[in-house]
Amino acid sequence: MTEPNDWVPAGIDVNQPSAARVYDYFLGGAHNFAVDRALAEQIAAMTPNIGETMRSNRVFLRRAVRYLAGQGVRQFLDIGSGIPTAGNVHEIALAAAPDARVVYVDIDPVAVEHSRAILAGVDGTGVILADMRDVDRVLAEAEKAGLDFSQPVAVLLAGVLHFVPDSDDPGALVAALGAAVVPGSYLLISHATADGQPPEVIEAQRLSGRTGTEIVLRPAAVLTSYFKGFDLVDPGLVFIPQWRPDPSDPVDEHPERVGAYAGVGRKG
């Protein structure tokens, strides 16, 4: 049976798995195809916690955006945003602060076109098709989309830096983004790691390369270095479930199972 694809822009190969659509599938979204689901299930069979990891990442992002809005942040630059799902950044930010401005950035044309369709008519939002490795373009387009870099901005890098290979120097990319924002701005990072993980995680990493965006697992020391120029807010860089859990959340006795760290820093 042919799946409806009227939300996919012309020229997109729906027979090639997309990292954004695989992520959408794990989050319970509807914007994915059989090829994406097949790869997702293959990865999930080897790493049963992968879906939990991705959902935990989204829950962390929501908690962090609420925290940032509570700190007075009104501008959010979400890089590597993927396909919007329920409870995305703009929904959380605008609910907390109706005057907030959220700009989404992604390299995947499918993710961007669908984001534009969802956000059509939603005040306070913008969507950019850009490669985060071209920081100058990202910043210029974000300014055109309504961000004022003379005022604090929260740069959100949730689950995206592990798609940037070492050859593209992700630390330098983060440093360039950090240099572009004023004191009082924030940097958010969540990132996959091999710290505390079993060997099958490495095989799942190899499978991720089939989407054209292989995951690079990095240790805590490297991720901490990305926050140079920013002061990590409590509780620092921790496994995702440990970052400011809601009081009603059950205590996770094995937070390392999610295989990802999270942290938020403030530029002084």
Domains of the chain: 19-267 (3.40.50.150)
pLDDT, tens digit, 9 for 90 and up, residues 36-48? 999 888 878 766 6
pLDDT at 114: 77
Query: Which is higher by pLDDT, 194 or 235?
Result: 235
DSSP state of 237: S
pLDDT (tens digit, 9 = 90+) per residue, 226-256? 999 999 999 999 999 999 998 877 677 888 8
d(CA 217, CA 202): 8
pLDDT at 1: 45
Element (H, E) at 265: strand 260-267
- Amino acid at position 122, single letter: V
Average the pLDDT over 167-175 and give the result.
Answer: 97
Query: What does the alpha-carbon distance between residue 93 and residue 87 come to, in Å, rounded to a whole number?
Result: 10
Write the CA distances from 243 to 105, 189, 236, integer angstroms.
Answer: 24, 12, 8
Q: How far apart are the first and last CA of the chain?
A: 56
Lookup: tokens for 14: 């729906």
**pLDDT for 102 beyond 70:** yes
**What's the CA gap between 201 and 131, in Å, rounded?**
27
| Mean pLDDT rounded to a whole number for the chain | 88
Q: Are 192 and 259 in contact (CB under 8 A)?
A: yes
pTM score = 0.86
